[in-house]
Amino acid sequence: MPNALRVLKSIEAGIGHAEEWLGMAAVAALAIVVNLQIFSRYLFHAPFIWPEEISRLLLVWTTFIGAAALTRRAGDLAVDTFIEMMPYGPRRAFLILRDTVMIVLFGFVALQGFALANAVAGMPLVATGLPTALLAWPVVLGGVLTVFHCALRLVMHIAVPVSVDQHLVPKTLT
């Protein structure tokens, strides 16, 4: 593997670890906020008004950061039965096409998220007063990270010779 690809893979690994830690922290915070709301509502009969918005924010951030993390691990949703049965050449061509389509799609998602973030800039959430754009920025970040992971995967499909092309068949999450 060329040196530049090794550097990109190490950068991707660092970004991937940050995505996973951010995702775990968001899920833990989501569990705390939701349970706080349950206890305050049903045990104390005095619910807070802010946990609904905070849990929505955390869920959106978890979704889009998690999607990027899954793409990095090749855990994106796929029916690969027929792909694995293909000979090397057509399989490689199909995977290159798949990654190209994903780059275009998630690039479009990131651009639309950016437009949404700009459209709602300055609008506060009702209960917390936080900017509504906090609901749109994870779409941008998740889209950009997914494009990065797909682009690196695409470069690997194109640049790495057959003998070391271990990334063609998606890894399992075990």
pLDDT of residue 75: 82
pLDDT of residue 142: 96
pLDDT of residue 82: 83
- Side chain identity, residue 85: M
Residue 131, beta-bridge partner list: 124
pLDDT of residue 161: 59
The two three-digit tokens of residue 117, written as one number: 């973030």
171 and 16 in contact (C-beta within 8 Å)? no
Q: 10-residue block means of pLDDT along the chain (174 residues)?
A: 82 93 95 93 88 94 94 82 85 91 97 96 92 95 96 88 50 48
Alpha carbon 51 to its chain centroid, in Å, reads 24
CA 45 – CA 48 distance, rounded (Å): 10
